[in-house]
Chains A and B, each alone.
Chain A
């Protein structure tokens, strides 16, 4: 066995993040690590990568017990982590990043730029990565940055690579590229630990699978012996039947109408209607303009032309404030960066968009605010210690619910959900979709962007497909993934991974 983690325990203050983490990985295998958010996957990997010291348990590396006190020690042993959020130096070149900290030296301590570029180019060509050694990392897409991290790991002679949700921000074609690379690493007898939330991906890369639940390893075995429903059952600890089925509603009045909206070169001539009680799915490849459309509608980016009507009234939206006043709500893709004030209590996040309703004579009524926060916490089943808990300490799913609660309290009528289920676990996903369904039943109009086609097809009443900044098609409920993908990609125009943005 290359690596064995035995009975790893880790506590933070009063919270036990890991009570019994077990994992065994062999050279030449791709080992999937699954579990809901908060199950302890990241904590387990961080003990392995030298970011946390376990409270108890042992780590066997090539059969001998080890303790990694720093990431450098883990890296020296041959363990590398490809992070979800890139940890590269954006202003340096691809080659410089690959060799960061281990630059080829000339006498007198100078760095040999020429040798570095040559070695990086050799490495990139050997693996057929669509990169160039001289490119600035700043200009790379998330997929390109991951490739640089992978190059770094290979260059440093790592024998175990940890991928933490590598495909969560990638398009389909980029995902395929990551799979190709993972398989190639396996063929070179490297071990790969692969963390993912996307159940559809499992079979594409994995050999064995380990499932964590509530800080404990509950299942470990060959992927071929384990069915997907079985895996889900291990993850959530309960049966998970019809995934996220929605009963369509009779549509009500037209709440959002977009006419000829353009923002060259990203958006061109967008026409769109969403009625009360309707969930309209917005599909398309990464870069097709879905997020850009949400941002333009919400007044974040300027619009060149076009008209927006909300509930039959023409509205001018020049900034998010106008949008909020018009009754729009945006639940952005990146909760941590743009959705929440993570260092403020969740109660303050919930009330932030509608403080006026809680203010009397200029003062915020504390008791009323606590009541509002308490109501939403129980109504949306937000799992938190108290309304004063910092929003950043909640799990992804609960953070998403807080982001939604903010707009519920504002009584918004048109909801723009940008990747509402990204990075949250299966159970929380179902809950978020249930909240969206409730919203629709209460008469809201919902526009939902998602890169996960199966869930989009299940949740949405109609699918609008975007391609290169335009509406490419509108498909009814019951369409298949193939229908959507055919419109999302030009047929026969096999898209090359777009690595430079």
Chain B
């Protein structure tokens, strides 16, 4: 039990340590900046949690973010109202997720390969559509999505909470979630049980795509730009968040609280390093080491109970 709580404990210890080490850490300005910075990774990680539970992986999440953020921004630049621009981004993301899901299911190709391919395709398409240039002419009020506050709390935190609760409820209390666990734990057994494996796999990728679309719009709002090169390397941070939070790449394991903790651990590390003046080069190495330590501890826990 202690080990299952280890990520939570790490987060708390990290929080307390940073509060003691830096007088700026506990200021509202800094905390809301941590929240805003991690919101994008967190939102994507929710979708990735579902995919990894279902035994899959999606390397194209960063590319989906850029693609949907750009399309949403272009829609607004073309004069569409903000809500329609956001909807465009969300739909674009969901569509990309659906394509990933269908390719994985129909071609029966390892999702690592499929999404490695769509990562390239989407990056290329995004650059072609935008000519490699960022989209700037966005209505100023769009900034509210990424930078606004409601009741003194960053709007993105409300959004994240909503998405997290929804994802958690789906995973733990609906058929879709149950089947995701079943498919990830043993795809053959799921098929033999009569579970429509293809449909539910595609559904999981689509939901993840939708969340990436939302993350794309948040990112666009924070930058007030549709940036075709946005989200480079996010896929690794997203996967890291899920894995630190107890998700297993063998499928069948993972949870929303775990993933949130994983993402916040990485967020605090990066924020703390900035506050304490640790070089960003070292930050990368620290996060890499944390991933290995977290997964090792998790494996040890499982092994102890396995036999």
Contacts and interface: CB of A to CB of B under 8 A. Distances in A.
Interface string B169-205: 1000111001101100110111111111000000000
B235 interface: no
Interface in A356-400: 356, 359, 362-364, 366
A274 interface: no
Contacts, number: 77
Contact of A323 (B190, B194, B307): B194
Contacts of B281: none
Given A321-B196, A324-B193, A332-B192, A359 B175 contact: yes
Interface string A277-317: 00000000000000000000010100000000000000000
Given A362-B174, A364-B173, A341 B186 contact: yes
Interface in A305-361: 319-321, 323-325, 330, 332, 337-344, 348, 352-353, 355-356, 359
Given A321-B194, A341-B252, A363-B173, A352 B305 contact: no
Contacts of A12: 307
Given A342-B185, A343-B185, A355-B179, 12 more contacts: A300-B192, A320-B192, A320-B194, A321-B194, A321-B196, A324-B193, A341-B190, A348-B178, A348-B182, A352-B190, A353-B195, A359-B174
Q: Which secondary structure dominates where chain B touches chain A?
A: helix
Interface string B277-288: 000000000000
Nearest to A325: B194
B304 interface: yes
B194 A324 contact: yes
A319 B188 CA distance: 12
B192 A355 contact: no
Contacts of B195: 321, 352-353
Interface in A52-97: 52
26 contacts: A298-B192, A320-B191, A320-B192, A321-B196, A324-B194, A337-B186, A338-B189, A339-B189, A339-B192, A341-B181, A341-B186, A341-B190, A341-B252, A342-B185, A343-B186, A344-B181, A344-B185, A348-B182, A352-B178, A352-B182, A353-B195, A356-B175, A359-B174, A362-B174, A363-B174, A366-B173
Contacts of B169: 363
A342 B182 CA distance: 9
Contact of A344 (B173, B182, B304, B307): B182
A344 B252 contact: yes
B189 A340 contact: yes
Contacts of B307: 12, 52
Nearest to A12: B307
Contacts of B190: 341, 352
Interface in B104-130: none
A333 B170 CA distance: 33
Nearest to B305: A13
For chain B, give the interface size range.
20 to 34
A94 B185 CA distance: 33
B196 to A, nearest CB: 6
Given A324-B194, A325-B194, A342 B186 contact: yes
Contacts of B178: 348, 352, 355, 364
A406 interface: yes
> Which of B188, B190, B194, B196 counts the most A-chain CB atoms under 10 A from its CB?
B194
A355 B173 CA distance: 11
Nearest to A324: B194
Contacts of A352: 178, 182, 190, 193, 195
Nearest to B196: A321
Contacts of A323: 194
Nearest to B176: A362
A362 B175 contact: yes
Contacts of B189: 337-341
Interface string B144-176: 000000000000000000000000010001110
B77 to A, nearest CB: 38
> Which of A300, A330, A344 counts the most B-chain CB atoms under 10 A from its CB?
A344
Interface in B232-277: 252-253
B193 A320 contact: yes
